[in-house]
Amino acid sequence: MGLTLKDIRNDERINCYMEMGDDNLAALGYTEHGKRHARLTAGIAAHILEELGYSEREQELGAIAGYLHDIGNVVNRVNHDVSSALLSEQILFSRGMAPGDIAIIIGAIGNHDEGEGFPVSPISAAIIIADKSDVHRSRVREKDRALFDIHDRVNYASEASRVHVDAKKKLISLEITIDTEMVSVMDYFEIFLDRMNMCRRAAKALGCNFTLTINEIRLL
Ligand SMILES: [Fe+2]
Ligand SMILES: [Fe+2]
What CATH number is given to the structural domain containing 40?
1.10.3210
pLDDT tens-digit series, residues 92-122: 999 999 999 999 999 999 999 988 899 999 9
Which residues, by Cβ under 5 Å, contact ligand 2, an ion? Answer: 70, 131
Say how many Å lie between the CA of residue 199 and the centre of ligand 2: 13
Ligand closest to the CA atom of residue 117: 1
Query: How far apart, in whole angstroms, are the C-alpha atoms of residue 202 and residue 172?
Result: 10
DSSP string, 105-150: HHHHHTT-STTT----SHHHHHHHHHHHT---GGG-----GGG--H
The model's pLDDT over 176-195, given as tens digits with 9 standing for 90+, comes to 999 988 888 887 877 888 89
pTM (two decimals): 0.95
Name the phi and psi angles at 177, rounded to 5: -110, 120
- Enclosing domain of residue 30: 5-218
98: helix, strand or coil: coil
Average pLDDT over residues 10-21: 98
Count the domains in the chain: 1
Q: Do residues 53 and 106 make contact, with C-beta atoms less than 8 angstroms apart?
A: no
pLDDT, tens only, 124-175: 999 999 999 999 899 999 999 899 988 888 889 999 999 999 999 999 999 9
Ligand closest to 127 (CA) is: 2
